[in-house]
Chains A and B, each alone.
Chain A
Amino acid sequence: MSMIEMRGLRKDFTVRVKAGRLRREKRIVPAVDGVDLTVDGGEMIGYIGPNGAGKSTTLKMLTGILSPSAGTVSVCGLTPVPQRTRLALQIGVVFGQRSQLWWDLPLRESFALLRHIYRVPPAEHAARLTRCRSLLDLDGFLDTPVRQLSLGQRMRGELTAALLHGPRVLFLDEPTIGLDVVSKQAVRSFLAELGARGDVTLVLTTHDLADIERLCRRLVVIDHGRVVHDGTIDALHDRYGSRRRLVVDLESPLPDGFTLPGASVTAVEADRHRVSFALDTVSAGAAVAALMASAPVRDLSLVEPDIEDVVARLYTSVSGGP
């Protein structure tokens, strides 16, 4: 069953541009320019794109904050803006830069208030809170006013706050922004565990591609308001020809004219003692065997393609295109 449906979704903003000394011209700028997307229940999708690509605007239309200029959108079978309050009971939202918590109250009290706001039966609320407390390690700061929490602690609080009413869809807008490595890990493994249970659909926007690699099988890339890629991370690598690399340290310099069938040399360093091969068609095992047979290998390592590079290439190719 599809949990989220977007058909020809569009959002135009009117901006006024200075034209002459006093005159200002109205110009229509499409922030989201015809997005079609279906997300099934239990899916975890990463929604990425450069700044200003339309990620947050899409998310705001999905959560009922903004009305679309054209096209249709449905979440949990509801139309977000007209059915905003009903939808709010079904979704959880975490905006990395905005808080759902009560700044001056202990974290614990924010959770208690949210129970009333979302009308959650006490037992259900307690069960979910207990789970979050242990998974996110909240016990150390439950009684601290939110304004005194570190960013990492606050984000763990925000995640809990978004989940206490048992939403079917969770929208996360840059949940790891500004977090240190340890907090990022905590947030990611919590989300991974949440996704593994399969009862929550997760839509994640981020600039940190490690979030996506860790969490999302499906990746949707948006640029200039349009979907430019929708598929797995592997499909993205295939499409942009990113390959695994074999980096070899040799006992003696690489002989001239050396070739490895199915692979190409991409870099030669350290007086020809270190060579990188891109594995075009050959498997890693065959490439290593062939190398060992023909060259004195001291050390070797296999490097996975870097998603950051691929996405950077994707952004520039789209932006630079027609």
Chain B
Amino acid sequence: MAELRAYAALAGGQLRSVVSYRASFVVEMVTNLGSTALDVLTVLVLFSTTNAVAGFTLPEAILIAALSSCAFTLADFAVGNIDRLKTYVRAGTMDAVLVRPLSAMGQLLLMDLPFRKLLRLAVSASVLVVALVVNDLDWTPARVALLVVTPVAGAVFFGSIFVLSASLAFWWVDSGDLGSAFTYGGRDFTSYPVPVYSGWFRAVFAYALGFGFVAYQPALALLGRADPLGLPAWAGYVTPLVAVVAAAAAAAMWRAGIRQYRSTGS
């Protein structure tokens, strides 16, 4: 319990720090709002030239994009700043973190909690509400549960991707933007119906890496549509499982990374 208060204090310290630069905080908040709105607008622009993409109508596509956006913005808010790990490793801030009586991961996340990204959550949630209104959904208890669980599980999934890609910095301080291919690239991938992709790219991203389960498969289950690619209906409900696997991989990679840091001191 006392430990929770300690983490809360860290988050509070970060909040007061960012608010001390009031103008820049407001500007950042507004730009963040704009960039999230743009993500959704891209989908609208795509549909302004055609009525259906890969057999999906605009409302259906918006539902997929909204689920993806909710999962991503939630993960980006909570875990996204872990990609600053490389600056911490380089500047030695990591040492200061390791001499405090709290977990290294917890400190890094809360010391840097990006409050400027809070409005993004609101935008994604509103788009999701719109998507639920414009689609004619047949509500069952299972679907209600699915709607609640999907963004959270998707956020765990994206969060794991963030941690995996940030952990590279433990071995390779100049890991640069390689990780972004999977984090921001993954978000873009999940914003569209999987059938728009093809070949090995689809096989790798959608199924091997699991991005297809973040928004596309649950959206099919919510809509009650059969998967044109032939996966059974229960595939829409396995997102939490995929998220747990990703989180386990991320935790293992993080621990190995910390061990590596402690043996090289770099």
Contacts and interface: CB of A to CB of B under 8 A. Distances in A.
B201 interface: no
B262 A117 contact: no
Contacts of B92: 95, 97-98
A64 B98 contact: yes
B206 to A, nearest CB: 38
Chain A residues touching B, range: 35 or more
B20 A105 contact: yes
A60 B96 CA distance: 11
A14 B264 contact: yes
Interface in A11-56: 13-14
A267 interface: no
Contacts of A116: 5-6, 8-9
A119 B6 CA distance: 7
Contact of A98 (B5, B8, B96): B96
A105 B17 contact: yes
Given A102-B13, A109-B13, A145-B20, A118 B101 contact: yes
A64 B99 CA distance: 7
Contacts of A60: 95, 265
A85 B99 CA distance: 8
Nearest to B14: A102
Nearest to A86: B101
A100 B101 CA distance: 13
Interface string A67-84: 101000000000001001
Nearest to B97: A65
Nearest to A56: B265
Contacts of B265: 13, 57, 60, 65-66
Nearest to B21: A104
A314 interface: no
Contacts of B100: 88, 117-118
Nearest to B265: A66
B225 interface: no
A91 B100 CA distance: 9
Contact of B93 (A98, A104, A110, A117): A98
Given A13-B264, A57-B265, A91 B9 contact: no
A117 B8 CA distance: 9
Interface size class of B (residues with CB under 8 A): 20 to 34
A81 B9 CA distance: 25
A89 B103 CA distance: 13
Contacts of B18: 104
A63 interface: yes
A113 interface: yes
B142 interface: no
Contacts of A67: 259, 262-263
A5 to B, nearest CB: 19
B20 to A, nearest CB: 5
Contact of A117 (B16, B17, B102): B102
A240 interface: no
Nearest to A15: B264
Which of B3, B101, B259 has most A Cβ within 10 Å? Answer: B101
A31 B102 CA distance: 28
A84 B17 contact: no
B101 A88 contact: yes
B231 to A, nearest CB: 44
B99 A88 contact: yes
A14 B2 CA distance: 40
B13 to A, nearest CB: 5
Interface in A101-122: 102-105, 109-110, 112-113, 116-119
A99 B12 CA distance: 19
A103 B10 CA distance: 13
Interface of B: 2-3, 5-6, 8-10, 12-13, 16-18, 20-21, 92-93, 95-96, 98-103, 259, 262-265
10 contacts: A13-B265, A60-B95, A65-B99, A69-B263, A89-B101, A102-B17, A104-B16, A116-B5, A117-B6, A145-B20
Interface of A: 13-14, 57, 60, 63-67, 69, 81, 84-86, 88-89, 91, 93, 95, 97-100, 102-105, 109-110, 112-113, 116-119, 145
Given A113-B9, A116-B5, 17 more contacts: A63-B99, A65-B95, A81-B262, A85-B102, A85-B103, A89-B101, A91-B99, A93-B99, A95-B96, A98-B93, A98-B95, A100-B96, A100-B99, A104-B17, A105-B16, A116-B8, A118-B6
